[in-house]
Amino acid sequence: MNLQLFTGLPLQDLPFAASGEADQVLGGVWLGGSPPLRPPVWPVQAIATPVLGTGSAGMQEIWRCNEACTEGRFEGIAWRRAGNLLYGVIDLDEAAFSAVLPGSPLQAASQEAYRRIFRLLEAQGLPHLWRVWNYLAGINQEVDGLERYRQFNIGRQDAFLEYARGATGNVPAACAIGLASGPLSIAFMAGREPAVPVENPRQVSAYNYPSEYGPRSPTFSRAALVYPPAQEVLFISGTASIVGHQTVHPDDVPGQCRESMANIAAVVGEANRLCRSPEFTLDELSYRVYIRHAADFAVVRETLTDMLGSAAEIIYVQADICRHDLLLEIEAMASHTLGSC
């Protein structure tokens, strides 16, 4: 199997769309305004927030492999599977959980979403969660005395513990990003083989954050190395201007951008210590950059161009970050071929 990520191409221009190979698409994401009137047949996570610097109303990312996928729906999850690799998307309306106690509707929705994901993975015999993309409305808003991101962390970690997953160490790479509105939306990739978690020597592991960041620590690793057949894929989680466990360079957009990249460089260094393929490099990564204020886009793009060059593959998206004092967050991935796996 050869897992590939296609980014930013109109659907009709994808190299397989006209050749009847849509069954080889594992899934994808739509970034921007309203999704296409005729949505694809594969699972799609719709992220309704502006894409910056393209002049386009939206763009997409597509995960494609070179074998036909099976597909299905399971407790509200749309999923596709190719061999021992699965991609799924679940959207939950928090209002449906308003009567669930204890905790907030978001906490209950988060816990239930992860319960369903774990049940699907058990049913499919693919127990290992590799990468998760979490999006929720109003991530920094305080409701009933607790920030919504912290409510989400309670629900997520409770589900991990309920299904005997553990909340430290071998946990997936992930991001949690805020949107202006919309459901709790979670996309995920999972496989039969466990991921190799990667941490950042410059940072406290997120799952070991002190209690000042909420009743439950975030349940994710800084990155993960995963192994589809004959490949090594590096997923780097959402990465921000945090050293140790504290935000640095408050109100300084270029400073936060450079610090985020310093953290990504540190994670890549750790991944290279563990990887089975030739070393990963910063200039080969595909990046998605979340920017809190659209007015900061030009500064962020200039800073990253100076650091990575103009040929770097970067998508810029306006979105809120998990801490109110963080102005941007960067995630990334890259794939290498292995001789055998």
pLDDT, tens only, 143-172: 989 999 999 999 999 999 999 998 998 999
Q: What's the CA gap between 49 and 9, in Å, rounded? A: 18
How many domains does the chain divide into?
1
**Model confidence at 340: pLDDT above 50:** no
Average pLDDT over residues 187-192: 97
Between 105-124 and 148-162, two packed helices, what is the crossing angle to 10 degrees? Answer: 30
Tell which phi-psi region holds residue 53, choosing left (phi > 0), alpha (psi between -120 and 50) or beta: left
List residues bridging with 175 in a β-sheet.
Answer: 133
The pLDDT score that the predictor gives to residue 194 is: 96
For 70, what's the count of Cα atoms within 13 Å in the CB-facing half-sphere? 5
Q: Which of 321, 254, 312 is nearest to 292 (CA)?
A: 321
Under a CB-based contact definition with an 8 Å cutoff, are residues 177 and 135 in contact? Answer: yes
Given a contact cutoff of 8 angstroms between Cβ atoms, the answer to whether 260 and 241 are in contact is yes
- What DSSP element (H or E) covers 84? none
The strand pair at 196-198 and 25-32 is best described as unpaired
Beta-sheet strand order (sheet of 128-137): 70-74, 77-82, 85-92, 184-191, 128-137, 173-179
- Of 94, 270, 329, 331, which one is the catalytic site residue? 329
- Among 4-13, 100-109, 229-238, the range with the most confident prediction by mean pLDDT is 229-238
**Digit-coded pLDDT (tens) for 192-207:** 999 999 999 999 999 9
Stretch 123-140: mean pLDDT, rounded?
98
- Angle, vertex CA 150, rays to CA 145 and CA 154, nearest 5: 110
How would you classify the pairing of strands 44-48 and 51-52?
A: unpaired
User: What rounded mean pLDDT belongs to the chain?
Assistant: 93
Q: Is the pLDDT of residue 331 over 90?
A: yes
Domain region containing 88: 4-337
Q: What angle do CA 196, 199, 205 make, to 5 degrees?
A: 125
CATH number of residue 180's parent domain: 3.30.1330.40
Grade residue 288 by pLDDT with cuts at 50, 70 and 90.
very high
- Summarised one tens digit per residue, pLDDT across range 85-107 is 999 999 999 999 988 778 899 99
H or E stretch including 308?
helix 297-308
Q: Which residues contact 181 (CB under 8 A, 6 or more apart)?
A: 48, 137
| Closest residue by Cα to residue 254 from 305, 313, 321 | 305
**Choice between 130 and 66, residue whose per-residue pLDDT is larger:** 130
Contact 171, 224 (CB under 8 A): no
Residue 279 among the catalytic residues: no
